[in-house]
Chains A and B, each alone.
Chain A
C-alpha cells in the first residue's frame, strides 16, 4: 500500500480546506494587529516618541507574523494550485498594490529610526500607515469580490482567462467588505496596543479601538444583510465527488437564486461562526472600555476567527466562484493538489507547525511587557 492512501483523498481535501482557513485566520490574528497598529498610528500617536511607542509594540514581532502571509501564499500554491493561479493573476493590479504596500513595512520599521531627522521619520510614518491600511482594505475588497463571483473562465487546457478590470473590483459591496476588514483589524490593533503599550498611546488606543469594535459589529451586520438581499450565491449542480481528479471543468454550477446562507439551514452548527464574530467584537468593546487587557485581545482574536470562518463556511464547498462561467468555479473537490501532495504537505505541517507555534510562544513571552515613553527614552539606540 502506498503511504498517502492512509488518508482518503476527499478527507485530505477537507483537511486542507480547514488548513487554508487556519492560515488566513493565523495571518489575520497575528499580522492583523500589526496592520491595525499601523492604521492607528496617525490617531493614537502624535509626537515622535509616541509614534515610537506604538511602532515598538510590534517592532520585534511583525516579521514573524508576516510569515503567515507568505506561508499562506506558499500553501495555496502547494495545496490549491488553481486557486493560486486564478486569484493572483486575476487580481493582478490589486495584488501589485498590496505587495507594494507590504514592502513599505519592513523598510519602514527598520529605517525610520536610523536618522533623527523628523521629516525622514514622518515620511516613514506615512509609509507604515499605507503598509497597514491598504492591505487591510484590499484583502476585504478581494473577499467581497469572491463572494459575488470573479469574472474568469478556464479553457480546455485549464488556462485562466480573466475578463475583469482593476476598477471593477471596487464595487459597493466589495468596498463594504473592505471597510469591515479595516474595522476588524483596527479593533485588533487597538486591542494589541492596550496590552503592549502604556500612557497616552494606550489610552487613545482604547478609545479608537472601541470605535473600531462598534464599526466591526455594524459593518458585519450590514454586510450580512446586503449579502442576504443583494448577492446571489452559487451552488454545485452535479459532477463532483470527493475523490474526483482536480479538474474544475468536470462539474456544473448554477447561480439560481439560492443564497450563500443555505449552508446554515443544512448545518445549523455553522451559525457559531457569525455568532463568534459578533460576540468577540462585543467582548472586545467591553474589554476596551473596562480595561481588562488580555480579555480584550482574546475577544478580538475570537471575532477575527468568527468573521473569517463565516466567509469560508458560507461558501463551502465553493472556494472561488466564476461569475461569467460558473462551471469554471473552483471548489474543494476539484481544485486541490494531487492526493500524494496533499498528504506530503500534511505531514510537513503536522511536524513543523507545532514547533513554530512553540517557539513563537516563547519569543512572545520573552518580549512580554509594556512599552511606554520611558522605555523609548531608556533604549534610544536599540529601539526602532
Chain B
C-alpha cells in the first residue's frame, strides 16, 4: 500500500473513530443501567440501589469524559481532513450532525453535571429524571449519528445538483427513515447494552471472587444479566437485519463478507470457514452450511445472492453511465449558471446518479471521458475491498455475538435461581470476558466501514476524491499527535478505572442520616 494523503487520512479517521468507539458503547449501555438502578431505588427506597447508582456512576463518569473528549475531534474532522466530502454532501450529512447537537448532546451534557453534583440539591424524583435525561441523550446521539452514517451506506433522498456541484437533499423524510440507519441504530445501541452488561458482570464477578461488596455485586449482576441478555439477542437479530439491508443496498459488502466470488444458485450457502484468496479470486478450503446465506440475505429460498465477479461486471456498466453523466456535467458546468444545453441537461437527468462511478476513474486518468476499457476494468475491480479481513472480522464478530447470548443467558439463569456465586470458574470467565464486547464492537465498525470502500458515500463519492488538499506532513503530524495524545489519555483512564474498581463503592453516608429512619444495614430482599 502506498502512503499518500488519502491513505493517511483514512488511517487517521479509522484510528480516531475507533478510539472514540472505545468509550461510546459503555456510555450507551451504562447510562441506561444507571437509570434502571436509580429507578429501582426510587421505587423501593432501598439505599443499596442508590449506592449502586453512585458507584457505577463513578465508573461511568471516568469513561464518559473520554467519549466527550474524543468526540470533539469527530465533529470537526470531516472539515479538516475531508473537505471535499464536506462540500459535496454537507447539505445532507450535516443536518443529522447538527440535530444531534441540538437534541442529544445538550441533553446529556447539561444533565450529566447535575447527575454528579445534584444528589443533595434535587428531590429523588428530580434526580431520577436527570439520570434518564442523560441516558436518553446518549442514546439519541447514537440515533442521529447513525442516521448520518446510514446515509453514507445507503444514500437515499438526495440528488446531485450541477449548479452547485454537490449532492442536495430531495426528500428529508427518506434520509431520516432510512431503513439502513434504523437497523444500524438498534444494532449499535444493543451492542452498547451488551458492552455495559459484560462490564458490570465482570467487575461484579471480581468482587464476588474477592468476597467484597457481595450484596452490591449480586444485585448488579442480576440487572446486568437480564439487560445483557436482551441486548445480546437484539444485537444478533438486528445484526441479521443489517445483513438483510446490506444485501439490498450494498451487495458488494455482503459478497466480500462472505468471500463469495461467484453468484450461487439459490438458496446460497453460508461459508463457516475458508481462506479467501484475492489473486485467484476464490475462497479456498471452504466449509459451507447450505441455504443459510440465501435465507439471511434475501429472506427467500429462490432468490440468488450475487457474487463478487458478477457485481464487478455490473459495476462496469455503471461506470459507462457515469462517464455519460460526467460528460453532460462538463457541458453544464461550462455554461457557468447561464443558459444550459438541453441535451446535456437530459443526459444528466438520465445518468446523473451514476456520476460517482466516473470519479472512480480519476485514480487512473484526469478526464474520465478518455478511459479505455482496460482502465474501466481496473476501476471496477477497485470496488472490491480486500476480502480476508472482512471475511474473518465478520465471523469473529458473529461468533462473539453468540457467545454473549450464551454467557448472559447463563448468568440470567443463575441470578434467577439465586446461585450467582456457585461456579467460581464462571466468575473468573466473566472477568476475562470484559474486553470481548469492545473487540466485537470494533470489528463491527471495521466490517461496516472498510466494507464500504472504496466509497465514502456508497455509489456517490469515492473516498480518494473526498479528501482535503493537504500536505502529507500535515496529516502525518496530526495523526501522530492524536494517537500519542489519545494513548496517554487511554492509559490514564484505565488506571483511574482500575483504581476506582479496587476502591469499591463508597459507603452511603446519607444512609446514616437515613432518610425515613431506615437502618444503616442493607435490608434483605
Contact = CB atoms under 8 A, between A and B. Distances in A.
Interface of A is mostly: helix
Nearest to A250: B337
A224 to B, nearest CB: 30
Contact of B163 (A74, A247, A341): A247
Contacts of B75: 70, 73-74
Interface stretch (B107-115, B343-351, B374-382): B107-115
B333 to A, nearest CB: 6
Interface residues of B, number: 77
Interface stretch (B45-53, B64-72, B264-272, B277-285): B64-72
B98 A367 contact: no
A238 interface: no
B336 A250 contact: yes
Interface of B is mostly: helix
Interface stretch (B116-124, B207-215, B238-246, B448-456): B116-124
Q: Which of B100, B119, B133, B474 has the largest count of A CB atoms less than 10 A from its CB?
A: B474
Q: Which of A67, A109, A161, A348 has the largest count of B CB atoms less than 10 A from its CB?
A: A67
Interface in B341-398: none
Contacts, number: 252
B76 A95 contact: yes
Interface stretch (A79-87, A183-191, A209-217, A276-284): A79-87
A75 B478 CA distance: 24
B86 A85 contact: yes
A338 interface: yes
A158 B102 contact: no
B62 A70 contact: no
Contacts of A337: 90-91, 94, 168
A79 B68 CA distance: 24
A227 interface: no
Interface stretch (B77-85, B196-204, B222-230, B402-410): B77-85
Given A73-B75, A85-B83, A160-B84, A63 B97 contact: no
Nearest to A66: B109
Interface in A47-71: 59-64, 66-67, 69-71
Interface bin, chain A: 35 or more
Contacts of B336: 249-250
B80 A74 contact: no
Contacts of B481: 96, 100
Contacts of B489: 103, 107
Contacts of A75: 94, 98, 101
Contacts of A61: 110, 113
A71 B102 contact: yes
B469 interface: yes
What 3 A-B pairs have minimum CB-CB distances, sorted nearest first? A81-B90, A88-B79, A78-B94
13 contacts: A61-B110, A64-B110, A70-B101, A76-B94, A78-B90, A87-B79, A88-B79, A89-B86, A99-B76, A110-B62, A157-B84, A340-B168, A341-B168
Given A84-B90, A158-B166, 19 more contacts: A67-B110, A71-B102, A71-B105, A74-B94, A75-B98, A75-B101, A89-B80, A99-B76, A103-B72, A106-B65, A111-B62, A156-B333, A160-B83, A341-B94, A353-B102, A366-B126, A367-B114, A367-B117, A367-B118
